[in-house]
Amino acid sequence: MKVGIIGAGTMGSGIAQVAASANCQVLLFDTQPEALVKSQQKLAKIMNRLIEKGRITPMAASTLQANIEYVNSLETLADSELIIEAIVEDPAVKKKVFSTLESFVSTDCILASNTSSLSIASLAAACQQPERFIGIHFFNPAPLMKLVEIIPAVQTSNTVKNKARAIIVGWGKLTVLAKDTPGFIVNRVARPFYGEALRIYDEGIADIATIDWAMKTIGGFRMGPFELMDFIGNDINYTVTETVFKAFFYDPRYRPSFTQKRMAEAGYLGRKSGRGYYDYSEDSKKPNPVEDQRLGQAIVDRIVAMLINEAADALHYRVASAVDIDTAMAKGVNYPKGLLAWADKMGICTCVERLDALFEEYHETRYRCSPLLRKMLKNGATFYPEKVSNKNN
């Protein structure tokens, strides 16, 4: 299969590696020759490390590298059966690229965007054949992260949806199907992990190190919210938050924090800039948390309740199935368990009580309880039958 990838940055290069490892013939396009050279050099280093660790043979590495051709002419992608765009999150730029592609690719070529938060329907509308357009959202680093969100637009045909999903599954990925709504599954449901942590910090309830300690030690999360924002990049995380906030017609649940905005404006972007919520310079020492169990549990209870509420609302509005929502959060951002399964284990009554307590304290619609949770409490329902719930725990 011939696959075109547009954009030789981190995501585009990673997707190219995934496709090449599945024996696809990959054409990696970028307008900047230096980006193509950098991508090729980076892949060579990755292959050498894998060879040294015994994870791949020299012959397999050579074959994978030979499967990728680095090109700077968009027309070179003309014979591609699937083209995935992974460039700047600017809808005008993306639309121009897809409009240009349609002038020379075959009518059977599937066009896809790796966007993390932009409207797939809007991008598809730039095409003469919008039914062949779909969202295929990989997570960084693409070669290591198993999850891929498949997002059909309202225009996407069922044939294209099924074919695109089958292709990505054939590349060894775990796919979930998401409705074309802001943030899809992961970038929507995960917003409280960052937003509520920032709110707790802004209110002076706990410092950054303590919030991260609580979420890791008590909550069981692999990284704390501030560590993760520094890892992602505070500019990227803020932009996604702002995009989702605007796309949801300024719903207070997604309102960005001024702290986050100021960090991005100051250039304190996290690991990539050497400073973010933490100092990453060579001689720096990480601040010590306040290891107060009661405070830590209160932090975890508040953030997890908000995450569960967001997951429940996503299910309520049919963004995805319960299984796909839990799979996405467990595999896309490495949560310790699926949030809906977590709600079952915690008890729907407890979830509702915690959300109502927050609303009573703040009287902000940010803390409104999902109608689905209230309905489930009234009916004594759970998200999963007992057998499935135990399996997810």
Same domain, 170 and 189: no
Contact indicator for 186, 328 with CB cutoff of 8 Å: yes
* Cα(57)–Cα(52) distance, integer angstroms: 9
Q: Do 204 and 152 fall into the same domain? A: no
Given the residues 137, 196, 237, 257, select the one marked as catalytic. 137
Contact 351, 376 (CB under 8 A): no
The residue among 136, 159, 177 that closes a domain is: 177
What is the edge-to-edge ordering of all strands in the sheet holding 2-6? Answer: 68-71, 25-29, 2-6, 82-85, 110-113, 133-138, 147-152, 174-177
Looking at the fold, whether 251 and 388 belong to one and the same domain comes out as yes
Work out the burial of residue 89: count CB atoms within 10 Å of its CB; fewer than 13 is exposed, 13-18 middle, 19 or more buried. Answer: middle
149 is catalytic: yes
**Is the same domain home to 245 and 283?**
yes
Domain boundary (117, 144, 177) is at 177
- Residue 84 and residue 12 share a domain: yes
137 belongs to the catalytic site: yes
Q: How far apart are CA 313 and CA 301, in angstroms?
A: 18
Cα-Cα end-to-end distance for the chain: 39
At 389 the pLDDT is 42
CATH at residue 21: 3.40.50.720
Are residue 306 and residue 211 in the same domain, yes or no?
A: yes
**Residues in Cβ contact with 5 at an 8 Å cutoff, skipping those fewer than 6 apart:** 12, 15, 16, 19, 26, 27, 28, 29, 83, 84, 86
Q: Which of 85, 149, 227, 310 is catalytic?
A: 149
What's the rounded Cα separation, in Å, for the pair 162 and 181? 19
Q: Are residues 318 and 189 in the same domain?
A: yes
SS3 label, residue 126: coil
Same domain, 136 and 261: no
Q: Could you tell me the residue range of the domain that residue 130 belongs to?
A: 2-177
Q: Are residues 203 and 292 in the same domain?
A: yes
One of 117, 187, 309, 389 is an active-site residue; which one?
187
Q: From its phi and psi, is residue 314 left (phi > 0), alpha (psi between -120 and 50) or beta?
A: alpha
Assess whether 166 and 215 both reside in one domain.
no
Is there a catalytic annotation at residue 72? no
Q: What is the pLDDT of residue 117?
A: 82
Mark whether 105 and 225 lie in a shared domain: no
CATH number for position 237: 1.10.1040.50
Kindly report the number of other CB atoms within 10 A of residue 381's CB atom. 12
Closest CA to 16 of 85, 88, 111: 85
Q: Choosing from 116, 119, 309, 389, which is the catalytic residue?
A: 116
The confidence score (pLDDT) of residue 388 equals 43
The token pair at 380 is 């004594």
Domain boundary among 123, 158, 177: 177
Do 40 and 85 fall into the same domain? yes
Domain total in the chain:
2
**Residue 391 has what pLDDT?**
45
pLDDT by residue for the chain (393 residues), tens only, comes to 999 999 999 999 999 999 999 999 999 999 999 999 999 999 999 999 999 999 999 999 999 999 999 999 999 999 999 999 999 989 999 999 999 999 999 999 999 999 988 999 999 999 999 999 999 999 989 999 999 999 999 999 999 999 999 999 999 999 999 999 999 999 999 999 999 999 999 999 999 999 999 999 999 999 999 999 999 999 989 998 999 999 999 999 999 999 999 999 999 999 999 999 999 998 899 999 999 999 999 999 999 999 999 999 999 999 999 999 999 999 999 999 999 999 999 999 999 999 999 999 999 999 999 999 999 999 999 999 875 444 444
